[in-house]
Structure 1
Amino acid sequence: MNKQKTHLMSWMTGRSYGLTSSQHTTRTLVLENGTGIDQCPEGLLDAESVVYVPIGTDVPESFAAHVKDVVPYDGSMTELGGEAGIGPDFFLQTQSYSVAGFLVLLGPTAVRLDDDEDVDAFTEDARSAVESGEFPDFLTNPIVQLADAARFSDPLAVDDGPALRLLLDGDSVRLGPNGVRAESTDWTRTRLSPTHPLTGQLETDPWLTRYVVAVQAIQQVTARGAADVEVSGFGMRFGGQEPATTDADFEKPLLPVLLRVDGDPQVYLPAEGRLLRGDHDAVTRLEASVLTGEAAA
């Protein structure tokens, strides 16, 4: 993934993708349609910042020289059902969760949980996965990423915040489309909205974070060509136990995720985003230590 795409995916998801954040400036800034360069708060950007601007935006040379890159985009970065085009060959769609499963997704897609309908559909899919082992095809597709991943306590989104990504919309600043508006003079105070319906759902069902981690594991192996993937805790256990959302791995989502990939056992380490191969006996023993809480995260 080139740097422009890396910054764009980081902005959509809240994951760093290796970008190093700063305490005083933001790494990726998107200007909403109708917002001009002259509305950028002083001190918001530095030489490592990438700025996405609507095509046709007047960009002074002095501004472009101060940042890492200014990237024109066509379309919308925030509108559900919209598409943003970067150059001639990269297009990023944004879809709501409750709609995405009914669409044919042909390219990189950010899926947002925007309202109660989205959260209900997401939770229902997660419960079904625990019971049956079946995950939604669209969600496990490697081209799909959940937007605002920090909402799910995603271990890969621990750096999310205004130092990583911002949306400038007129004279206010937000942490993406679902962020709390902050005055441009106090942009460090913006955050994801605490009143989002997913917040209450996670308080009731904290195990949903483990589901998100399992989805990431499936995406990893699917991107490498896997066709048949089973995940311990979702419809199966290597040791034959019945999965339950009160099990230790659901309570501690950073514990290793154990997979059967086209018949071969593998282990996904969430905190590192790495995959390891193993044999059935070793993975079964690891599963036992995971379920007793003895395995290290």
Structure 2
Amino acid sequence: MRVNSITTARNGHRSALAFEQYVRGKRTIVEGTVLFLETADHLEAVMSQARSGDVIFAPAGAARRRDSRVVEYQGDLCEPGDKVMLGEGCTFELRDYVAAPFISIVGPTVLRQRSAEGIAAFFSDADTARDSGVFVDQLLSGAVLLDSFASFIGTDSAGGFLDRVHVTAAGEYRDGPDGLLLGVVGDEWSAIESRAIHGAGRGRAFARIVDRGMLEADLDDRPWLARYIAAIDLLRGWDGVPTRPAISGFGGHLVRALDELPALPGVVSASAPYLLTGDGDEWVLVDPLSRRRTRLGVDTARAAECLIATGNESAAVALLAAELGRGTSNVASLVHEVQIRFAAVGLDLTTSGREGL
């Protein structure tokens, strides 16, 4: 009985991670593609094309034969207010992104853009966070899955391999419910992957609701968007994160010179460390990859921020000197010590990821 309970728990955990991969469009632990079928009509045809590592979400009772790849669900996930239940105690509610700032998150929730207005609202919220440091509270909830967020930054899998496919009631294969048309039921999987490769890039998941050229222009205007999305992901996965955390680069910097001097060349990568503070003068440096957190005093935090912002030790020294009104020789040792300190634990603050414009 205990073995069965453990097995059920493991299967439930894998199903939840597979569903997360389907919603967000970003790989979790699933080896293959996650497919979500709106109706049972196409299950047999999809199963004939699916591979051993794939996961197929299908309406309950749809499978004519037992298949370990199939996860049955109850409910719908088409209109705001719809709920889908993957198993006992695992229910997700669909909500419209436009309404995100005005809803209460009471359980697992999928926020879907659903329209050009939803995409515009997402960009507006990102701009607000960038300018003022205020993030939409609902996005920071660990219970929220933001639909197709990976498509904003173009994280297509290597070789065109698909992380997820949505199968509509009409039998269309799409990259998400509003995504690029990849084929129809009955097509060979190789043809679907070929179309995915041809249509790779940012915005593929929104091809049905917004012009990709216009979306590309909006994304080009926000070269920092990947860092914004990574910041949301970091905060929502951090138990005990300070209320209203201040994040360097969003609403300003600890080093004021970064806001007053001309823009630095390039944009800090989403993979570079984040500098946060909550209450008081204590700052926290967070590695977004390992999620390791290091508490810093204000002087060390300033030096770290200069290293992250410039990606160069000499430039960081000059920037910190300008901030403090001192000569470069007076701050060079501090900057170097901070650089060496983090390099010793495998975190190079100057090469952890700069992206040119």
CA gap 1:233/1:249 in 2 versus in 1, 3 angstroms: farther
Residue 53 of structure 1, CA deviation: 0.8
Question: In structure 1, how many angstroms separate the alpha carbons of the residues matched to 2:295 and 2:147?
Answer: 32
Residue 98 of structure 1, CA deviation: 0.7
Question: In structure 2, how many angstroms separate the alpha carbons of the residues matched to 1:102 and 1:81?
Answer: 14
> Is the CA contact (8 Å cut-off) linking 1:228 and 1:262 kept in structure 2?
no
Aligned to 2:110: 110
1:213 maps onto 2:230 in alignment? yes
1:132-163: CA deviation from partner (whole Å, max 9, x where unpaired): 22111111112112211222217xx5538653
Q: How does 1:34-183 map to 2 (within 5 A)?
A: 34-40=40-46, 42-46=48-52, 48-61=53-66, 64=67, 68-153=68-153, 157=155, 159=157, 162-169=161-168, 170-181=170-181, 182-183=183-184
Aligned to 2:308: 290
1:17 maps onto 2:28 in alignment? yes
1:31-55: CA deviation from partner (whole Å, max 9, x where unpaired): 1124332221633221x22221112
CA gap 1:80/1:243 in 2 versus in 1, 3 angstroms: farther
Question: In structure 2, how many angstroms separate the alpha carbons of the residues matched to 1:38 and 1:18?
Answer: 25
Aligned to 2:242: 226
Aligned to 2:252: 236
More helix by share: 2
Q: Which of 1 and 2 has higher RCO (CA within 8 Å, sep 6+)?
A: 1
1:94-119: CA deviation from partner (whole Å, max 9, x where unpaired): 22211122211211222222323222
CA gap 1:274/1:248 in 2 versus in 1, 3 angstroms: farther
| Greater Cα offset, 261-270 or 82-91 | 261-270
**TM-score normalised by structure 2 residue count:** 0.70
1:5 maps onto 2:16 in alignment? yes
Give structure 1 stretches of 5+ with no counterpart.
none
| Partner AA of 2:256 in structure 1 | G
| Partner AA of 1:54 in structure 2 | P
CA gap 1:44/1:17 in 2 versus in 1, 3 angstroms: same
| Greater Cα offset, 8-17 or 116-125 | 116-125
Question: In structure 1, how many angstroms separate the alpha carbons of the residues matched to 2:264 and 2:102?
Answer: 32
2:275 to 234, 258, 267: 258
Question: In structure 1, how many angstroms separate the alpha carbons of the residues matched to 2:266 and 2:82?
Answer: 37
Residue 3 of structure 1, CA deviation: 0.5
> Is the CA contact (8 Å cut-off) linking 2:125 and 2:136 kept in structure 1?
yes
Percent of pairs identical after alignment? 24
Q: How does 1:179-190 map to 2 (within 5 A)?
A: 179-181=179-181, 182-183=183-184, 184-185=187-188, 186-188=191-193, 189-190=195-196
- What secondary structure does 2:41 align onto? coil
| Partner AA of 2:31 in structure 1 | T
Aligned residues: 282
Residue 216 of structure 1, CA deviation: 1.8
CA gap 1:162/1:79 in 2 versus in 1, 3 angstroms: farther
Question: In structure 2, how many angstroms separate the alpha carbons of the residues matched to 1:150 and 1:234?
Answer: 20
Question: In structure 2, how many angstroms separate the alpha carbons of the residues matched to 1:248 and 1:274?
Answer: 27
| Partner AA of 2:26 in structure 1 | R
1:269 to 287, 305, 317: 287
CA gap 1:285/1:18 in 2 versus in 1, 3 angstroms: farther
Alignment root-mean-square deviation, CA: 2.7
| Partner AA of 1:239 in structure 2 | V
Question: In structure 2, how many angstroms separate the alpha carbons of the residues matched to 1:112 and 1:230?
Answer: 27
| Partner AA of 1:296 in structure 2 | T
Give structure 2 stretches of 5+ with no counterpart.
1-11, 313-349, 353-357
Question: In structure 2, how many angstroms separate the alpha carbons of the residues matched to 1:273 and 1:127?
Answer: 27
> Is the CA contact (8 Å cut-off) linking 1:259 and 1:266 kept in structure 2?
yes
1:1-43: CA deviation from partner (whole Å, max 9, x where unpaired): 811100011110012123334xxxx2x2211124332221633
> Is the CA contact (8 Å cut-off) linking 2:109 and 2:145 kept in structure 1?
yes
